[in-house]
Structure 1
Amino acid sequence: MSTALKIDFVSDVSCPWCVVGLRALNQALADLGDEVKAEIHFQPFELNPKMPAEGQDLNEHIFEKYGSTPEQSKQNREMIRQRGAELGFTFSQGDRRIYNTFDAHRLLHWAELEGKQQALKEALFAAYFTDHADPSDHQVLANVAGQVGLDRQRAESVLASGEYSAEVREIEQLWVSRGVSSVPTIVFNDRYAVSGGQPVEAFADAIRQIISESVEVQ
């Protein structure tokens, strides 16, 4: 019999380690098979909530925010690229800009109501990191929504209207109030948290431990 597992995946569309973490988590869940019945909810977190519409050069942004030199940034991106490749995801080479992701989070909020949140999340990761698309551009967002089977016209309406803005802001503040300050942060059953782009085995071990403790409590 499968053990029910609620997973809150707090992340940002422009976070490469969130891609690695999600891919590893998905693989861990696949490896566990019938041991667990997982329900994943993607929760909003903006790494750069004040990022202007035109975005910013990634190297410039990383230097301003973290003090990393272009060479250090390049080395870090190469490590992430390799981790992604191991998990079947392509991080494209070349220059990239960082953009505001608030509208992407609004669209993801709507997609959960439509039962397609994970499909949209993964497609947005691919659009940004593989195709170098702008995740703040409404046409890009609407196109990606349509690609995963969401109503494109409804997506355009959501984006144009500012719908779900208040809900996303409220959820963002909730997770900050719970102590989330970096992403990805993955919270299991509202009790256990794992941070970062952990390896598949780390997620599998954590889930097995949670399952074991759940059985003991019962």
Structure 2
Amino acid sequence: MEREVDQNMYEKLAEKYGMSLEQAKSNCRNIERMAAEIGLDYQFDTLILTNTFDAHRLTMLAKSHGLMQDMTERILRAYFSESKHIGDHATLTELAVEVGLNHDEVAAMLASDDRSDEVRADQQEAVTLGIRSVPFFLINRKYSLTGAQPTDVFVQALQQVYSQDGPYKIDASEDSNVNTDKVVATGSDESLVCDENGCEIPKK
């Protein structure tokens, strides 16, 4: 996709999936409604389509500073809720500074080809894993869920993975980008999923 796109979201969806504009709009309204139910404000009417390759490069730079999650969330909010042009370098630089990255470092990276190899490596890994759409959820690198699934589907999937593979062990010391506010603590026969609200033992 080019950085500047003449089509809007509805036209792009209709073209890609062979549906009418009315169906594309209806689908997007459903997504907006579901997003609102969990506190997200999606604005498909004013969303700006663009090539997101540079935005992905920026998340790789943020990763090197331990800010990948913050950067990703800021870009997604800018794209879906604020109708910002996330293919525009000035916009990306502004967003990066908001999450704590250095303006000059970001501008220099975007003006170069830096981090391109990392993004392409991720793209190739996605191809290898069979990822062709979003959302796509990969568990233990061998179980997958595609599409927007209800909560009970995730619970059932995680219970099945747990019964087959046992507790998933994570070593936060090996990755500076691991979110230690939500980790899996393992024991001999049970696994605790812990966050700021406490811990829950998954059902077996």
**TM-score, scaled relative to structure 2:** 0.74
- Alignment root-mean-square deviation, CA: 2.0
Shift of 1:95: 3.7
The aligned residue for residue 179 of structure 2 is: none
The 2-side partners of 1:204 and 1:121 are apart by 25
Letter in 1 for 2:158: I
The 1-side partners of 2:57 and 2:44 are apart by 28
More relative contact order, 1 or 2 (CA 8 Å, 6+ apart): 1
Shift of 1:107: 0.8
1:175 aligns with 2:121: no
Check the 8 A contact 2:138/2:145 in 1, yes or no: yes
Letter in 1 for 2:151: V
The aligned residue for residue 142 of structure 1 is: 93
The aligned residue for residue 196 of structure 1 is: 147
**After TM superposition, where is structure 1 displaced by more than 4 Å over at least 4 residues in a row?**
none
Give unpaired runs (5+ residues) of structure 1.
1-50
Task: Single out whichever of 200-209 and 104-113 deviates more from structure 2.
Answer: 200-209
Shift of 1:211: 2.9
1:54 aligns with 2:15: no
Identity between Structure 1 and Structure 2 (%): 35
The aligned residue for residue 160 of structure 2 is: 209
Q: Which has the larger radius of gyration?
A: 2
Shift of 1:184: 1.7
Question: Aligned to 1:65, which of 16, 39, 50?
Answer: 16
Task: Please give the per-residue CA displacement for 1:23-80, whole angstroms capped at 9, x wherever unaligned.
Answer: xxxxxxxxxxxxxxxxxxxxxxxxxxxx112113223222221222221111011100
The 2-side partners of 1:206 and 1:162 are apart by 39
- Correspondences of 1:97-116 after superposition (within 5 Å): 97-116=48-67
The 2-side partners of 1:133 and 1:92 are apart by 11
The 2-side partners of 1:72 and 1:135 are apart by 26
The 2-side partners of 1:99 and 1:93 are apart by 14
Check the 8 A contact 1:56/1:97 in 2, yes or no: no
1:90 aligns with 2:3: no
SS in 1 for 2:141: coil
- Correspondences of 1:3-82 after superposition (within 5 Å): 51-58=1-8, 59-82=10-33
Cα distance, 1:144–1:201 mapped onto 2, change above 3 Å: farther
Check the 8 A contact 2:50/2:86 in 1, yes or no: yes
Bigger helix share: 1
Give unpaired runs (5+ residues) of structure 2.
169-187, 189-204
The 2-side partners of 1:197 and 1:123 are apart by 21
Check the 8 A contact 2:136/2:147 in 1, yes or no: yes
The aligned residue for residue 107 of structure 2 is: 156
**TM-score, scaled relative to structure 1:** 0.70
Q: How many residues align?
A: 168
Shift of 1:92: 2.1
Shift of 1:115: 1.4
